[in-house]
């Protein structure tokens, strides 16, 4: 490994391109340019769960093309590169077998004997390993532009650098080593043998699912927290209190969505919509279960259901009138998220219904809808469209404008969502290490905090079973997961946080 010394180019360059070029100049290094954080200290650079919780959005690595694909690319009918196993819903593990667990009753049981003492271990300095798919192995110096699949990782990295500057001002001493995973499990296996990673107090990064599984296993075996910023899946770790997932699973999205529906609408006005599709059937079943849980009885009035069998592109054989509620208000919850054509055709039917009558319609959709392109926003506006989202950046907020200016001054380009995410994640966990030490994950309930793109409300998730007496039994911690989800309403022709509770 070649150590790259701190250079003014990377700290105060006018273009992120200079930062990128500098990174690629040292392709033989896994360690990127150090950042001074304190004076004299540098940083070195197929089951039911699976069907429900893999939110197909953001960035997804496609092994067939060797690229990280945007949500737009994977939310269309061309999803042939995504491996789905069509299994009857009845063969899935019950969706409700996991539950968020309160953590105010004492430290999390991670196997460490802390009897008689507070489980806090503060250090003068904390070592952090940042593992991202920069894909430097694919860099071609003859290309005029950077590989598009490297840019988002560089944005995340650039955002985290700004956070490190902020942490330095706050007296947080981090020693950060940055590595390129190359989106390869074999490369990750090599990196996990590096002394800088093995001795780290915190590991952050990774995008590709199999790489994340490998790092999570490493974290569990070595009792070091691993922060996963991008993966929204329940299938990464098993009984692993060292795995910390920033993106909520689809199950968490549905819980927040259902609560919003129950708080703002009458149960008898709600109609769940799906096609003949096992994944959508799973979502519909879970929504009914959540409705019963929130109502406090398994015998509570269920939501109405409508299954659309029309396979024509425009749903020309589907008549929406019979499923409109007599109360003059109908709340549709559309469980489809893969078939954009179906979603648009249903919205057109609903839009025509309100044009022809005085009926009011509100539509709730899946989180992936936010990435749909070429939508008719008139439909969204008139149908009071609501979706859930794990992120929202208020471009009008003063602090967001200040961040954009600071980022542009540093790198000569505008920040993407990845830059905000990199800043938020590094800042939050740097502060957690400073305040609570190595066992910071036992104090998430004391550290709920707003950030640019989300709010950190991390909590442990456990498997739940029922004993012979009907009492719920909580198992070991499966992971920590952020429980915060926005409900966005399309209003004034853009998505924004819903003003209703």
Asked if the structure places residue 191 within a domain, the reply is: yes
> What is the residue range of 292's domain?
250-389
Rounded to an integer, the average pLDDT of 133-159 is: 86
Rounded to an integer, the average pLDDT of 125-130 is: 97
For residues 345 and 242, membership in a common domain is answered with no
Asked if the structure places residue 71 within a domain, the reply is: no
Q: Which has the higher per-residue pLDDT, 33 or 303?
A: 303
For residues 155 and 16, membership in a common domain is answered with yes
For residues 349 and 456, membership in a common domain is answered with no
Closest CA to 161 of 11, 29, 20, 22: 11
**Total structural domains within the chain:** 2
Rounded to an integer, the average pLDDT of 27-54 is: 39
For residues 306 and 380, membership in a common domain is answered with yes
- Residue 19 has a pLDDT of 54
pLDDT at 241 over 90: yes
For residues 320 and 374, membership in a common domain is answered with yes
For residues 255 and 132, membership in a common domain is answered with no
Give the span between the Cα atoms of 51 and 234, in whole angstroms. Answer: 10
Torsion of CA 205, 211, 213, 215, to 10 degrees: -50
Rounded to an integer, the average pLDDT of 458-477 is: 81
Q: Which has the higher per-residue pLDDT, 68 or 182?
A: 182
pLDDT at 27 over 80: no
In contact, 167 and 193? CB cutoff 8 Å: no
Asked if the structure places residue 497 within a domain, the reply is: no
- Residue 406 has a pLDDT of 97
Using pLDDT thresholds of 50, 70 and 90, give the confidence band for residue 166.
very high
Q: Which has the higher per-residue pLDDT, 32 or 479?
A: 479
Using pLDDT thresholds of 50, 70 and 90, give the confidence band for residue 83.
very low
For residues 111 and 13, membership in a common domain is answered with yes
Q: Using CA of residue 399, residue 402, residue 408, residue 410, what is the dihedral sign? A: negative
Rounded to an integer, the average pLDDT of 76-85 is: 26
Asked if the structure places residue 141 within a domain, the reply is: yes
For residues 225 and 254, membership in a common domain is answered with no
For residues 260 and 232, membership in a common domain is answered with no
Q: Which of 342, 367, 389 is the last residue of a domain?
A: 389
Q: Which of 354, 389, 424 is the last residue of a domain?
A: 389
Residue range 256-283, pLDDT digits in tens: 999 999 999 999 999 999 999 999 999 9
Using pLDDT thresholds of 50, 70 and 90, give the confidence band for residue 87.
very low
Give the span between the Cα atoms of 249 and 54, in whole angstroms. Answer: 7
H helices of 244-375, in order, are 250-264, 278-295, 340-356
For residues 161 and 208, membership in a common domain is answered with yes
Q: Which has the higher per-residue pLDDT, 152 or 364?
A: 364
Rounded to an integer, the average pLDDT of 359-376 is: 91
With helix as H, strand as E and coil as C, how does 240-272 read? CCCEEECCCCHHHHHHHHHHHHHHHCCHHHEEE
Asked if the structure places residue 190 within a domain, the reply is: yes
> What CATH code is carried by the domain that includes residue 14?
3.40.50.2300
For residues 455 and 420, membership in a common domain is answered with yes
Asked if the structure places residue 376 within a domain, the reply is: yes
Asked if the structure places residue 223 within a domain, the reply is: yes
- Residue 26 has a pLDDT of 38
Q: Which of 389, 411, 441 is the last residue of a domain?
A: 389
Asked if the structure places residue 69 within a domain, the reply is: no
For residues 182 and 236, membership in a common domain is answered with yes
């Amino acid at each position: 490994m070649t150590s790259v010394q701190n250079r003014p180019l990377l700290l105060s360059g006018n273009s992120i391109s200079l930062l990128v070029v500098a990174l690629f100049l040292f392709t033989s290094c896994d360690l990127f340019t150090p950042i001074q954080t304190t004076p004299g200290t540098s940083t070195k650079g197929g089951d039911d769960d699976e069907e429900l919780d893999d939110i197909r959005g953001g960035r997804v690595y496609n092994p067939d093309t060797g690229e990280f694909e945007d949500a737009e690319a994977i939310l269309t009918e061309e999803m042939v590169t995504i491996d789905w196993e069509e299994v009857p819903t009845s063969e899935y593990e019950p969706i409700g077998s996991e539950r968020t667990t309160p953590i105010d009753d004492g430290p999390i049981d991670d196997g460490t004997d802390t009897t008689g003492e507070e489980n806090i271990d503060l250090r003068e300095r904390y070592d952090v390993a940042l593992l991202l798919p920069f894909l430097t192995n694919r860099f071609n110096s003859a290309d005029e532009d950077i590989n598009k699949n490297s840019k988002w990782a560089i944005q995340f990295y650039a955002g985290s650098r700004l956070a490190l500057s902020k942490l330095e001002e706050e007296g947080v001493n981090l020693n950060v080593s940055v590595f390129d995973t190359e989106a390869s499990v074999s490369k990750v296996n090599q990196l996990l043998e590096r002394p800088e990673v093995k001795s780290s107090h915190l590991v952050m990064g990774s995008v590709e699912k199999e790489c994340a599984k490998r790092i999570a296993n490493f974290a569990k075996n070595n009792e070091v927290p691993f922060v996963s910023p991008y993966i929204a899946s329940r299938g990464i770790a098993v009984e692993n209190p060292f795995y910390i997932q920033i993106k909520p699973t689809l199950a968490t999205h549905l819980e927040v969505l259902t609560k919003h529906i129950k708080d703002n609408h009458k149960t008898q006005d709600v109609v769940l919509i799906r096609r003949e599709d096992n994944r959508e059937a799973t979502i519909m079943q879970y929504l009914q279960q959540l409705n019963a849980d929130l109502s406090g009885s398994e015998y509570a009035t269920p939501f109405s259901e409508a299954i659309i069998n029309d396979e024509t592109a425009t749903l020309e054989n589907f008549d929406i009138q019979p499923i409109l509620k007599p109360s003059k208000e109908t709340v549709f919850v559309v469980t489809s998220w893969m078939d954009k054509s179906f979603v648009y055709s249903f919205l057109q039917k609903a839009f025509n219904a309100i044009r022809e009558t005085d009926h009011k319609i509100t539509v709730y959709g899946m989180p992936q809808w936010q990435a749909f392109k070429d939508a008719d926003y008139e439909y969204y506006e008139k149908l009071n469209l609501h979706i859930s989202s794990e992120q929202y950046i208020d471009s009008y907020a003063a602090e967001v404008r200040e961040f954009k200016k600071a980022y542009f001054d540093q790198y000569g380009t505008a920040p993407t969502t990845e830059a905000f995410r990199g800043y938020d994640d590094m800042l939050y966990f740097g502060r957690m290490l400073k305040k609570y030490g190595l066992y910071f994950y036992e104090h998430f309930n004391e550290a709920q905090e707003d950030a640019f793109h989300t709010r950190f409300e991390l909590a442990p998730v456990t498997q739940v079973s029922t004993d012979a007496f009907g009492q719920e039994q909580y198992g070991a911690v499966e992971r920590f997961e952020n429980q915060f989800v926005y409900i966005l309403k399309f209003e004034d022709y853009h998505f924004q946080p819903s003003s209703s509770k």
